[in-house]
Amino acid sequence: MPRQAARTVPRHTTATVYVLKVALAGQKSLWRRIAIRSDQTLDQFHAAIYEAFDRWDEHLYSFYFPKPGRRGRARFRDAEEYTHPFNCEDPGPFAWKPRNAAKTQIRRLRLKPGQTFDYLFDFGDKWMHEITVEATDGVPEKGRYPRILERHGESPEQYPDPEK
């Protein structure tokens, strides 16, 4: 599966490190903590989530940044959406104009600690995740980013057996 490779931090970087907690919606005890540099993209963050939850079959995805106070359907309808590059090629007959996650650096999102947003993996099976920004000012250490800092709970099967 094609992925943007993680990069080693250059010595002259001005990037900061963001720490994001990614919880599976409806299963708050199942989460991952991921560190990503501010100069990396949402597509690279998606790749880290994909790995962190032990997924093996690639699908389309989107990140949703809802307006404060929005709930229910309005939370997603009015949200800024950043999606897989394939979704940006031809949005179809609808007025839907998502942004390209592969061209969106984390720093451009102006995230704040405590802020939450959503990530949907696989538009058919709808694996929804809730993401909480925990820090935005970490100092990059040597090594590759993004990196999985912590795992809580066993990853569910990507395609659960309906007989179980």
Q: Is residue 39 part of a domain?
A: yes
The whole-chain average pLDDT of the chain stands at: 88
How many other C-beta atoms are found inside a 10 Å radius of the C-beta of residue 96? 10
Asked whether residue 46 carries a pLDDT value surpassing 60, the answer given is yes
pLDDT tens column, 69-81: 777 777 888 899 9
- Looking at residue 128, which CATH number applies to its domain? 3.10.290.30
**pLDDT given for residue 98 in this prediction:** 86
How many domains are contained in the chain? Answer: 1
Domain extent for 90: 15-152
Q: Is residue 157 part of a domain?
A: no
Across residues 27-42, what is the average pLDDT? 96
Q: Is residue 33 part of a domain?
A: yes
Burial class (CB in 10 A: 0-12, 13-18, 19+), 12: exposed
Instruction: Please indicate whether residue 137 or residue 1 has the higher confidence score (pLDDT).
Output: 137
